[in-house]
Amino acid sequence: MIRSCTISDVPDIFGIVNDAAQAYRGVIPADRWHEPYMPLAEVREEIDHGVEFWGYEENHRLAGVMGMQPVRDVTLIRHAYVKTALRHCGIGGQLLNYLLGRIEGRILVGTWRAADWAVRFYEKHGFQLVGEKEKNRLLGTYWQIPQRQIETSVVLVFDPPHASTGKRESQLENGHGI
């Protein structure tokens, strides 16, 4: 079941993010890694800054989370994480497809350049990598991150098909990724 997360879910969101982020250890630049990867106060700050977390619940427990955040004229996909023990079970894809069905307009996601598995995941769901110059512009416009993170990240964009084609809705209804 996918549901909107509440403030009472913050400790579970914190746990999932920091468990799943272990995949970045030794992959992303060492100067960008820290423990915990996302402190509890930062989870709360993200919510205060408009990140709406959605969770995939299994056996009445959150197994994965993904956020969306409207910023100006786009929506950002933020903090997409699935518990390590439950990776490769389709949870991330289900969360992403659910959010794609709720968002209208252009969608952006940023991730670490070295996290090739994350880039492939978003490409599999219809996102396209932007070039370096456009990446720098987008990260500077829609995110508030340090220059070092801009240097080591990528941005992918999803431009939904026009509603009149019905392609997106039929793919979601048929259980196919976008």
Model confidence pLDDT, tens digit, residues 74-96: 999 999 999 999 999 999 999 99
Sign of the alpha-carbon dihedral angle for 87, 145, 30, 38? negative
> Would you give per-residue pLDDT tens digits along the chain (178 residues)?
999 999 999 999 999 999 999 999 999 999 999 999 999 999 999 999 999 999 999 999 999 999 999 999 999 999 999 999 999 999 999 999 999 999 999 999 999 999 999 999 999 999 999 999 999 999 999 999 999 999 999 999 999 875 433 444 434 433 333 2
CATH architecture, domain 2-173: 3-Layer(aba) Sandwich (3.40)
Element (DSSP H or E) covering residue 150: helix 147-151
Q: Which residue has the tokens 């992403």?
A: 96
Contact assessment for residue 24 and residue 90, using Cβ atoms and an 8 Å cutoff: no
pLDDT score for 160: 85
Contact assessment for residue 111 and residue 156, using Cβ atoms and an 8 Å cutoff: yes
Euclidean distance between CA atoms 134 and 127, whole angstroms: 15
Q: Which residue has the tokens 């910023």?
A: 71
Element (DSSP H or E) covering residue 139: helix 132-142
pLDDT score for 161: 75
pLDDT, tens digit (0-9, with 9 covering 90-100), for 153-175: 999 999 987 543 344 443 443 33
pLDDT score for 104: 93
Domain ranges of the chain: 2-173
pTM here is: 0.88
